[in-house]
């Protein structure tokens, strides 16, 4: 009887896992949910005796173990371990004591142990007291850590990823540690964005409660939030205010205002929706927003998430109303149904989203971008007109042309007929 072959577990694809983790991080709005996802992925796929994360708690000024998974009793109670900023393990990372770290930037228990117990006279030990190394090992023992990996956002240490021994008893390879270093730093950026989103939600909620009495304040803060988003990309400075101005002018030039009558406070709602239309870009990496070359398919997919992210940020704020949130979600839809995120078509796209789509595109065409210079206004108007019925609602395009011809769009009165476009005066 032939020997039965024991099925081999497929080799873990670190690159694929990193891509999946990066994509999933976009969806999390709360840091603790994101951290649990990272810990679960490591626990399920890598096979280590213990996994945990120390996260910096601003209110306490210390690094606290906020999640832990382990096998064979290695799990540590949440909150049981708290390391001060002055603790040896934290200082090694925050002060970037590279001579104690691996080339990947990780702190490896065996390396520290060998350094501490080396019989050779090591010049490093003349600079570092042995007691500090001993305390570092003691803290790693307390954390059941074989490897500790820092999680930085820019130059700030946000947390530490803690990995126990491999269940297979094999040592961690360079590829594996590099994977964890990248994962930890991706998580740091996602955690920072999640905190910022949460802070934005709290601020907007707070302001929304003052909406009736302090309406002007609400508008000004919306402008401030929009300006903060624009400030992340020097090429889009002032983008939100221009789009809002264009949208206001287009709505004033609509020949048929019946559809707008079904929207409560239409003019104000459109103004606010236009101000907030790109707020979801806070969840998109700066490297992608400022990239000068063509985006990869994966990068473009991340950019496309900004409309859903924006709607998710605003969703808890009931005072805004569904019309504003739907505009933020659907301002990238196309009239022929080929847009995103939902592929809505024709009049199935919310009216305000159809207006913002034209205003947004016109500003994108007439301003410099990382990948191209601005296009002249006259040519940009032609692009908008040619998109009528495919990218844009023909009625909105006509209102755009009316506003452009009258000078209310850009402050310049032009002869649209001379440019070869049909123009209908709604006041006739």
Q: Domain 210-419 sits in which CATH superfamily?
A: Hypothetical protein af1432 (1.10.3210.10)
- Each domain of the chain, given as residue ranges in start order, spans 14-190, 210-419
What is the C-alpha separation between 216 and 218, in angstroms, rounded? 5
What does pLDDT average to over the chain?
A: 80
CA distances from 172 to 22, 25, 147 (A): 22, 25, 8
Q: Note if the pTM is more than 0.75.
A: no
Q: What is the pLDDT of residues 192-215, one digit of tens each?
A: 777 777 777 787 777 666 655 556
The per-residue pLDDT for 424 is 47
Q: What is the pLDDT of residues 406-427, one digit of tens each?
A: 888 876 444 444 444 444 444 3
CA distances from 161 to 41, 68, 182, 193, 211 (A): 13, 10, 11, 19, 43
Contact 195, 31 (CB under 8 A): yes
The per-residue pLDDT for 27 is 62
- Mean pLDDT within 78-97: 86
Q: Is 241 exposed, middle or buried (0-12, 13-18, 19+ CB in 10 A)?
A: middle
Contact 221, 307 (CB under 8 A): no
pLDDT band at 264 (very low <50, low <70, confident <90, very high): confident
What is the C-alpha separation between 349 and 344, in angstroms, rounded? 6
pLDDT band at 316 (very low <50, low <70, confident <90, very high): confident
pLDDT band at 307 (very low <50, low <70, confident <90, very high): very high
**pLDDT higher at 226 or 180:** 180
CATH classification code of 14-190: 3.30.450.40
What is the C-alpha separation between 399 and 404, in angstroms, rounded? 8
Contacts of residue 386, defined as CB under 8 A and 6 or more positions apart, other chains included, come to none
The DSSP bridge partners found for residue 163 are: 51, 147
Q: What is the pLDDT of residues 16-33, one digit of tens each?
A: 655 565 556 556 566 667
Coil, strand or helix at 342: coil
The per-residue pLDDT for 411 is 64
- % of the chain surpassing 70 pLDDT: 77
The per-residue pLDDT for 50 is 86
The per-residue pLDDT for 102 is 84
pLDDT band at 232 (very low <50, low <70, confident <90, very high): low
pLDDT at 238 over 90: no
Nearest to 137, CA basis, from 117, 123, 156, 119: 117
């Amino acid at each position: 009887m032939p020997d039965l072959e024991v099925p081999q577990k497929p080799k873990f694809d670190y690159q694929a896992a990193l891509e999946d983790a990066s994509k999933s991080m976009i969806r999390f709005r709360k840091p603790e949910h994101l951290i649990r996802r990272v810990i679960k992925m490591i626990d399920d796929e890598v096979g280590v005796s213990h996994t945990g994360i120390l996260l910096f708690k601003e209110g306490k000024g210390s690094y606290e173990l906020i999640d832990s998974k382990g096998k064979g009793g290695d799990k540590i109670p949440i909150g049981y371990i708290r390391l001060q900023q002055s603790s040896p393990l934290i200082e090694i990372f925050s002060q970037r004591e590279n001579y104690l770290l691996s080339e990947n930037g990780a702190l490896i228990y065996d390396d520290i142990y060998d350094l501490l117990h080396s019989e050779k006279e090591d010049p490093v030990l003349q600079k570092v007291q042995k007691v500090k190394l001993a305390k570092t090992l003691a803290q790693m023992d307390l954390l059941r850590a074989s490897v500790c990996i820092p999680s930085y956002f820019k130059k700030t240490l946000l947390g530490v990823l803690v990995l126990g021994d491999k269940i297979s008893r094999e040592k961690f390879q360079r590829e594996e540690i590099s994977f964890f270093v990248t994962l930890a730093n991706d998580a740091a950026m996602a955690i920072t964005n999640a905190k910022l989103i949460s802070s934005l939600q709290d601020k907007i909620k707070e302001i929304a409660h003052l909406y009736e009495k302090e309406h002007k304040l609400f508008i000004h803060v919306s402008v401030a939030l929009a300006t903060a988003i624009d400030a992340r990309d020097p090429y889009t400075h002032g983008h939100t205010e221009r789009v809002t101005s264009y949208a206001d002018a287009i709505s004033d030039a609509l020949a048929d205002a019946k559809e707008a009558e079904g929207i409560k406070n239409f003019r104000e709602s459109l103004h606010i929706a236009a101000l907030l239309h790109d707020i979801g870009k806070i969840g998109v990496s700066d490297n992608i927003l400022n990239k000068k070359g063509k985006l990869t398919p994966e990068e473009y997919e991340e950019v496309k998430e900004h409309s859903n992210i924006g709607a998710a940020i605003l969703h808890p704020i009931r005072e805004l109303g569904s019309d504003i949130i739907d505009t933020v979600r659907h301002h990238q839809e196309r009239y022929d149904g080929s847009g995103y995120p939902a592929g809505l078509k024709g009049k199935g796209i919310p009216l305000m989203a159809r207006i913002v789509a034209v205003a947004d595109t016109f500003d994108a065409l007439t301003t410099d971008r990382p990948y191209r210079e601005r296009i002249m206004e006259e040519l940009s108007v032609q692009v908008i007109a040619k998109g009528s019925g495919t990218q844009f609602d023909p009625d909105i395009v006509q209102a755009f042309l009316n506003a452009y011809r009258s000078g209310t769009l850009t402050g310049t009165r032009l002869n649209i007929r001379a440019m070869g476009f049909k123009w209908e005066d709604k006041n006739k």
